Amino acid sequence: MDSNNSRRSFLTTMSLGLVATGIGAGNAQAFTLKNPGRDKQDPRYIGQKGKRFGMVIDLRKCVGCQACTASCKCENNVPTGQYRTYVSEYEIGVFPNVRKAFLPQLCNHCENPSCVSVCPTGATFKREDGIVVVDDTVCWGCGYCINACPYDKRFFNKLTKVADKCTFCAHRVDKGLLPACVETCVGGARVFGDLNNPNSEISKLLNMFPTNVMKKDQGTNPRVFYIGLNDEISDIPVSEAILDDLAKKIDKTPLAQWSVAYEGGK
Amino acid sequence: MYDLVLNTIDTITPARPWGIDIPNYFWFTGVSVAAFIISSFGNVFGMKSYKPIAGFSLLVAFVLLVAAPLNLIDDLKQPGRISNFFTHGWENFPTSPMKWGVLILVSYFFLLLFNVLIFYREYFVHAYHCTNNKFLKTIFKIASLWRIKLGEAQEQKNHKIGLILSVIGIFFALSVEGYTGYILGATHGVALWHTPLMPILFLASAMVGGTGLLVVILCIFQRFFADFKKIDYDMVDRLMKLLAWFIVIDLTIRFFWLTFAIPFNGEEKYALMRFFKANLTETILIEYILCLLIPMVIGFVSKLRKNLFISLFGAAICSIGVWDFRWNIVIGGQSIGRTTPGLLNYIPDFWGQDSIISALSNWGIFIALLCLVMAIFPWDKEMSKYYKQ
């Protein structure tokens, strides 16, 4: 009888403790299957119903000026040394038969995003208009999404200390504006719009030109399409060194924890 | 296409999120699982020869599991938001191995805790009856789970509950190691990780590392901290033989993994060839020859394993090798570029979050906890029971 009573009191204490913990956690943010913003139907989290946003990048028009890179950093307050979008510059072939290639890169806002399905807190999710975003108030910084992205288009923001990436400038798009990179593109290489609308410029371009996406075999169905992208640079680039990092090394600037390995490289 | 010469004039170094904490975490959970499974040889499967170390390895498994998640917490960029894991994002439960994995980890912790308390309940009940100190009485009462009765019926009940917990525990132990494999295997963008063999690869190597660690710790504790102060050479011999068989299993799975990934044409082939070419010395000489083949020979050659020094060397080196394997998998996998050129290089910071010091601190916590737990639990009394017979 005695032991039964003490067992009961143990269970009571335990359950009260758990309830108290639950209330504590509940006060901070309610338990949700999805995400607090989506539960509250916050328009920023829901997006524009009936639309499906995407981008076409015409590589024939890209001149590698990095205006998109700069405007993105200004618009989104991206910390120094980090980028949501940038234009990689390559030299293909052997002298004298060489040519330059530019490859603007950003989050592909995939139809089946790997980053979303693995997120253990629901901080990263796809809006109804297909824009993949990160809720920086929920992300706990485990980095699983960064590793799950087959395109290397996510990073830990130095300021917010959570996962960050291109949002297609969702805050601008929701006001009817274009993403900053599109608006600033000097060659008009970036075209943004609603894929569901057959009369949009992006739909017309997709109908008119053959396009390619990055790493098609990953099965994520990217929504950033390229005109003029071929396998030379879209699959596994074989170059070893990244000159930005090489320059850091020569200047004896401290390299980050992760840098490009030069040993045996060109 | 891959013969094409391509020079990168300008791009950025991609970000990689996981550093030294993660291989350390995988190692801790793996060896905990191995120690628990070895403990269950005596506890569940009734293998008498392993009974003397059943309680000891159970405690080792428990301490390793307590120390393991500290690595994860240190790796988080927002550790203060840990509650978000439990309160948000349940819609991703089926597709996020981390989501269900942490739940398995938490369940496994409680299972181990209760397993340990049930295993040593008899001793705590005795201690309860032998002391008059009120504080100690309360402690012993809690440790004996509020059941302070003695007797054969009670002992049988303990045994039955212990057995049930151990059987469930085996399932959870396998799941814990399985989920860590799933975490990596599910990331299809990383050539080194994307294999369905990853969970059993992790389990097999964990058995190797865990057995090795157990040999080392057992010798130290029996020699210096047990009442009888004598190493059980037969047990070391038995564990070394077991270790050799675990290495055979581990090597077999690695053989399937690499022979399937590398020779056949596909994008993975090129990524892996570049990785192994760049890390040939480390992987072949250290990971395979020094840390697996040599301990395997020691384990299989009776003359060698009878020598305590050689056995200890073999056990320690293969445990270190399993750590190296996890390092090579986690860090190596992330070093492979996905859409940018080159292999990345990781040099852990010395100080701060996710640094060498934080990993070493975690080891310090593990050692301190091991000493504390071994001081509290009467593992040597329980162990000496078998040596007297």
pLDDT tens profile A134-186: 999 999 999 999 999 999 999 999 999 999 999 999 999 999 999 999 999 99
CB contact under 8 A, B146 and A10: yes
Do you find a cis peptide bond into A104, omega within 30 degrees of 0? no
| The predicted structure's pLDDT at residue A236 | 56
Mutate to test the interface with B, among A85, A105, A136, A242 (most CBs of B within 10 A): A242
Kindly list the residues from chain A whose CB atom is less than 8 angstroms away from the CB atom of residue B180: none
DSSP annotation of A265: -
The CA distance from A19 to A210, in Å, is: 59
Say which residue, B14 or A51, is predicted with more confidence.
A51
**Nearest residue in chain B measured CA to CA from A241:** B342
Q: Kindly provide the b/e burial profile for residues B340-366, where b requires at least 16 CB atoms within 10 angstroms of the residue's own CB.
A: bbbbbbbebeeeeebbeebbeebeeeb
Q: What is the pLDDT of residue A93?
A: 79
Is A116 an 8 Å CB contact of chain B? yes
Cβ–Cβ below 8 Å for B341 and A26: no
B75:A142 CB<8 A: yes
Q: Would you call A151 and B96 a contact, using CB atoms and an 8 Å cutoff?
A: no
Q: How far is A250 from chain B (nearest CA, A)?
A: 15
Contact residues, chain B, for A244 at CB < 8 Å:
10-13
Give the residue carrying structure tokens 């029971």. B385
Which residues of chain A from 40 to 59 reach within 8 Å of chain B, CB to CB?
none
Q: What stretches in chain B show pLDDT beneath 50? A: 1-2
| Closest C-alpha among A151, A177, A176 to residue A166 | A151
pLDDT at residue A109 tops 90:
yes
Decide if B338 and A243 are in contact by the 8 Å CB cutoff.
no
Cβ A150–B188 below 8 Å, yes or no? yes
Per-residue pLDDT, A237: 56
Q: Does A246 touch chain B (CB under 8 A)?
A: no
Contacts of A7 in chain B (CB under 8 A): 146-147
pLDDT at A3 over 60: no
Q: Give pLDDT, residue A1.
A: 42
Residue type, A215: K
**Distance between CA B91 and CA B136 in Å, rounded?**
46
Q: Give me the percent of chain A exceeding a pLDDT of 70.
A: 84
Q: Enumerate the β-bridge partners of residue A94.
A: A97
> What burial class does residue A181 get, using C-beta atoms within 10 Å of its C-beta: 0-12 exposed, 13-18 middle, 19+ buried?
buried
In B, minimum Cα distance to A164 occurs at: B15
pLDDT for A26 equals: 47
Whole-structure pTM value:
0.90
Question: Which of B280, B339, B347 is most worth mutating to test chain A (most A CB atoms within 10 A of its CB)?
Answer: B339
- Give me the pLDDT at residue B233, please: 94
Quote the pLDDT of residue A263: 53
Q: What is the pLDDT of residues A12-49, one digit of tens each?
A: 666 666 655 555 554 445 688 888 889 889 999 999 99
What confidence category does residue A260 fall into, taking pLDDT thresholds of 50, 70 and 90? confident
What's the confidence (pLDDT) of residue B262?
83
What is this model's ipTM?
0.91
Chain B CB contacts of A25 below 8 Å: 83, 86-87
How far is it, in rounded angstroms, from Cα B116 to Cα B32? Answer: 13
Q: Which residue has the tokens 């269900």?
A: B100
pLDDT at res. A239: 61
Amino acid letter, B326: R
Partners of residue A215 in chain B, C-beta under 8 Å: 189, 338-339
Q: B217-223 long-range contacts, Cβ below 8 Å, gap at least 24?
A: B217/B60, B217/B370, B218/B53, B218/B56, B219/B308, B219/B312, B221/B56, B221/B374, B221/B379, B221/B380, B222/B383
Is residue B339 within 8 A of residue A105, CB to CB? The reply is: yes
